[in-house]
Structure 1
Amino acid sequence: MFQLQNKFKTTWMHPRSKIWHLLDYVIVRRNGIKDVKITRAMRGADGWTDHRLLRSILHLKILPPTRRQAPKKHLDLKALNIDATRSPLQTELSAHITLPAPTEDPISTEYLTEKWDNISEVLLNTAKDVLGFSRRRHRDWFDEQCIRSLVPDVRYETCRHTGTLGYRDLEAQEHRGTGTQRHRDGRTQGHRDAGT
């Protein structure tokens, strides 16, 4: 990976064969390879040893921890389709919002901004009180359809291991509406009598 001389690529010399080997490694994930600038063996200045120090220069970027933000709340606009919710909202809004009488004088920008802020605040507060917020729910991955598809298999396995009623007999009993417990008890009693 790094184009260095061979003396900078090895870290340990075998005492008998005097051959240098690479024993020390710097382990980096694949996506972090671009952060490694250079890795090389450092020869000591204090004396001769059979081991060299491995030095790696990295360019790390430490990001601040991300704070998880609370999900935004949305008004329940589907409640406007119901008359029982729509009419209280209309009466509350008509009670709080009053329109000024028309005048001949030009209207200033500050006046319009102030009025718009008041109207938007009244609209939002009234909608929060009357409509409320919608609750988003994710669909459950294990629903009634999954349970219905598993229940016959569980019954079949139970019947096969206990040796009582067969799977088709259970289905027939369910469709007829008679109790399977009484039929099963009578059938197992017959098996016990036959075995003695």
Structure 2
Amino acid sequence: MPSADCDTDHRFVKSKVRLSVKVAPKKRGSCTRKLQVDKLYELSEEIRRELEVRLDNNEIPDQDEDPENEWQHLKTILQETTGEVNGFSSRKNKDWFDENDAEVEDLLKTKRSCHAKLLTYPNVQAAKAAYRTACSTLQHKLREIKNNWWLALAERIQSYADMGNTRAFYEALQSVYGPVNQVQAPLRSSDGSGLLTDKYSTPFWVAGLSTMGTFLVTIGTYKSPPSKTYPNRK
């Protein structure tokens, strides 16, 4: 049977296994969509005009009604208008191949077709040569695409630094290094218990700094013992 073409020498092995169905995890709630805040300044006039039209067409509840209902009505109009005009932010891919997905897919299709012909005619030298050429071309092009992507990213980061665009500069850096995991290191006392509030952490700092001061004074007043003298032996 044809093997899985994953640029390796592995092939499928037919076997019988016993599988146990795990309980499906609970579905998480829908994530809140975020607006593209970087476009708010450019589209501010268009958003303002659209809001005026919608507020004129939609009747706002009377003032004697519940303020919560009035706020929900106004909030709905604001969210719908801003979302339609400005748009929502989509997931940002940070990988080099996402921007060249079409070109990479064409190269992979060529390689897969050559591999299928090689499996059909394994003893034909032309099929072997075509497959080797396709693999070499794919590897060369992928390295070239990746290198060009990194060069363009470096030039873009440098241009942001030259223009003083701090926000775009750090966003580009984040695309290189990825998100930073913030790990909290809680303050602990000498016995290992956690000090979570100022009520308990303040005495700890006072005691620690007092001990540090005593330690420094001890070092300053320390005198080395006199060195021993030994008689010269002839």
TM-based fold match above 0.5: no
Structure showing the higher helix proportion among its residues: 2
Structure showing the higher strand proportion among its residues: 1
Larger Rg: 1
